[in-house]
Structure 1
Amino acid sequence: MMPAARESLLDAAYTALARRPWSAVRMVDVAAAAGVSRQTLYNEFGSKEGLARALVRREADGFLAGVERALATHSDARERLTATAEWTASTARENALVRAMLTGCWSERLPSPTLSAVPSSSAVPAQRRADGPLPSPGDFVAIVRDRAVAVLAGPGAHRTDTVELARSCELVVRLALSCVAAPPVEGGVGELVRTALPRQPV
């Protein structure tokens, strides 16, 4: 199947999930909304659980791609980390799946994909990847922290500098997640990050 058709099926599933609980989302409706046959949907994802795993994996990838973009936005390290924190908080606010992945709180409205890998018999490479393990909230903290360190430290950074930098990056990620769980009343996550990082973290 064309990757474009897979994307439209995932879009249709995401839209359906925004309107009703996952338990009420029907495969036949997802296929119809994407303009493909139900058989095509099953060929691509295997089952409703396979579709759920693929949807969650896509949202995770989209979130991490946004982290990469945020880290590339400014030349100033502190502003890069602020942009990353703001992206994390706003994406989690707008996207229930990202919020669940980052906090570990899966509501009964959402699919609850098993976080461990499932044996995949899929012939579709993207589905085999979706059937792999899903990062836990702690894994996401580590992934974002390590990406930030890699981008901000640059090549040839000294070991002691990276340890300090990793602490700052982790602090920023955890601040952003605390704003997801308990949104700040005023100022927002950006102001919190700038206050927590009074000087260049590099």
Structure 2
Amino acid sequence: MPTAREALLRSALAALADLPWSAIRMVDVASGAGVSRQTLYNEFGSKDGLARALMRREADRYLHGVERLLGERADAADRLVAVAEWTVGEARARPLLRALLTGCWGEWLPAPPPARAATATSAVPAQRRADAGPPGTADLVALVRDRSAAALRQDSRDPGPRGAGPRDPGPRRDHSQGDHSPRDPGRRDHGQRDHDRDELLYRCELAVRLALAHLIAPGAESVGPLVRTAVTARLRAPLRAPLSAPSPRAGAR
């Protein structure tokens, strides 16, 4: 049996299928969940608090799905393709997730202002969770990128559970003629590790950004072939950094 909090979130999401957020009344959300309006306010504090918690729930569900796909028995390119294709399918079916991933908010959906700092001192734990709100669009991209890279790096350290062993998303370039002297192998190895890490982050971010581009401007075919090409192609220019900033510590559930 769902908790009162979960029942309220489900009721609010169901109401969004029929009405714009501005027309949804808190009393109707509470009634649909089978609880009192006071229980709703105890959980979320306000309609904006309910909206933030609803979007947080969508973001969490999406990130859990990403982690599930990254944990499958497949090579690196296959898993990045799976995450991209699943992202497109889920976002098309879930308007709130689509808005979170693309930043495209319509009048139908809730788009509450950020929580005020003062609300963080609420004595109700659930209210503090509601106040935290969901990660922003750029944050979600960085979270998916970093979780993808972490899963693929883990495979390179421990290939056993996946049978055939992992493969990098793309071929590595030969840096043996780079700036590092062969007399300093420690420095050369450190530089190579930094480059490999940045290249993996770059390819993981390309995969999720291609998915979002396909979501906004759908192509005739699946996004899968585009992602596979992007994450396996040889880079022709020196790689300096990932596309986005590091993902935030807060909101990384």
- TM surpasses 0.5: yes
Q: Which residue of 2 aligns with 1:144?
A: 144
Rate the CA distance shift 1:124–1:110 in 2: closer, same or farther, 3 A.
same
Q: Which residue of 2 aligns with 1:198?
A: 232
Equivalent of 2:202, from 167, 175, 183? Answer: 167
Once the two structures are TM-superposed, the CA of residue 133 in structure 1 deviates from its matched residue by 5.1
Distance 1:7 1:189 in 2: 33
Following superposition, which runs of at least 4 residues in structure 1 exceed 6 angstroms of deviation?
A: none
**Deviating more after overlay: 109-118 vs 25-34:** 109-118
TM-score of the aligned structures, taking structure 1 as reference length: 0.90
Distance 1:3 1:122 in 2: 24
Structure 1 residues 104 and 117: alpha-carbon distance in aligned structure 2, compared to 1, 3 A threshold: farther
Q: How big is the shift at 1:195?
A: 2.6
| Stretches of structure 2 lacking an aligned partner (at least 5 in a row) | 158-191, 235-253
Partner in structure 1 of residue 66 of structure 2: 67
Residues 72 and 185 of structure 1: is their aligned pair in 2 closer, same or farther, counting only changes over 3 Å? same
| Code of the aligned partner of 2:122 | S
Which is worse superposed, 48-57 or 189-198? 189-198
Letter in 2 for 1:94: A
Quick check: 1:129 aligned with 2:129?
A: yes
Task: Give the Å deviation of 1:19.
Answer: 1.2
Report the Cα distance in structure 2 between the residues aligned to 1:16 and 1:91, rounded to whole angstroms.
19
Query: C-alpha offsets along residues 45-76 of structure 1, whole Å, 9 cap, x if unaligned?
Result: 11111111110111111111111111112331
CA RMSD after TM alignment:
2.3
Normalising by structure 2, what TM-score? 0.72
State whether residues 43 and 126 of structure 2, in contact with CA within 8 Å, keep that contact through their aligned partners in structure 1.
no
What residue identity is the alignment partner of 2:76? A
Asked if structure 2 preserves the Cα contact closer than 8 Å seen for 1:73 and 1:83, the reply is: no
For 1:42-61, list aligned pairs within 5 A.
42-61=41-60
Percent identity, aligned pairs only?
A: 59
3-state SS in 1 of match to 2:132: coil
What is the alpha-carbon distance in structure 1 between the residues aligned to residue 23 and residue 204 of structure 2? 40
Question: 66-75 vs 117-126, which deviates more?
Answer: 117-126
What amino acid does structure 1 have at the position aligned with 2:231? L
Question: Which deviates more from structure 2 when the two are superposed, residues 110-119 or residues 163-172?
Answer: 110-119
**Larger Cα-atom Rg:** 2
